[in-house]
Amino acid sequence: MRLLVTGGAGMLGRAVTEAATRLGHEVTSLSRAELDITDADRVRRAIGAARARAVVNCAAWTDVDGAEEHEREATATNGAGAGNVARAAEETGSRIVHVSTDYVFDGSKTTPWVESDAVGPIGAYGRSKLAGEQEVVEAGPGHAIVRTAWLFGAFGRNFVDTMLELGRERDEVSVVTDQVGNPTWTVHLAEALVELAERDGDVGVFHAAAAGSCSWYELAVEVFDRAGASCRVRPTTSDRFPRAARRPAYSVLGTERDEAPSLPTWQEGVEGYLASRAVGAR
């Protein structure tokens, strides 16, 4: 299958490119420098030239706090930009797999969010990503919108790397217990996105995140335990770490769709990522 990946230089885009290549697909991967998805004409030309059977849109504004001050710019990429990609894919008959987020929900539930739950983002980033979902839906029926959560992986800043760095520098760290989600390794998500790209008949919104859930505190404990770090993790709450953007308290994604991809547990993701880091360090 011929596949086009936008945002190909990012943390998730690289993982999708590697997964698709490993599975034998012919992949064109375009970085933001090569394709700014806010430029509708360039997007149309690039997708037309690629002649891809499917397009996986990993291009996104991912600075959650920065989006509070720059919501227009975030929405230009996450909203209108997503629409540019989806419309160009529709024009060329390509399937579009668009990546969205748990932040489209307000975090008020205490059971996993499913695809039919009412959306209600509490911050600019979530609003920008919801705008993108709406643009993709309006572009045509042949889409898969994939909501995921709490990504970590190679080629980008992420919580696991931050904890490992702090663990080398400090004897203890304080991490919040009042935010809960599904920490998802990009490699596991990438394989799910490629799988959905192959499945023309499965359309609509899908939730795809690691099985199981934990708080950021529990994730830090798991990371230090598996890495053999002696750094102590102290529990704290979000009010001790004020940030520009509010985070949903409960971001756990579940699914009500039999067709939704099934991902390994978040613990398996942590184990796999740490093993890949160890290999890369040799």
pLDDT digits 0-9 by tens, 20-34: 999 999 999 999 999
Specify if 235 maps to a domain: no
Task: Round to whole Å and give the CA distance between 212 and 149.
Answer: 12
Specify if 234 maps to a domain: no
Q: What is the pLDDT of residue 241?
A: 86
How many domains is the chain built from?
1
Q: State which residues form the domain around 25.
A: 2-214+242-281
The arithmetic mean of pLDDT across residues 1-15, rounded, is 98
100 forms bridges with which residues in the sheet? Answer: 147
Specify if 237 maps to a domain: no
User: Please, is 281 exposed, middle or buried when counting C-beta atoms within 10 Å of its C-beta (0-12, 13-18, 19+)?
Assistant: exposed
Query: CATH number, domain at 266?
Result: 3.40.50.720
pLDDT digits 0-9 by tens, 191-208: 999 999 999 889 999 999
Residue 99's pLDDT band, with cuts at 50, 70 and 90, is very high
Among 265, 274, 114, CA closest to 204: 114
Specify if 99 maps to a domain: yes
Q: What is the pLDDT of residue 210?
A: 98
Specify if 233 maps to a domain: no
In this structure, what token pair is assigned to residue 44? Answer: 């149309």
Specify if 236 maps to a domain: no
Q: Which residues are catalytic?
A: 125
Specify if 147 maps to a domain: yes
Specify if 76 maps to a domain: yes
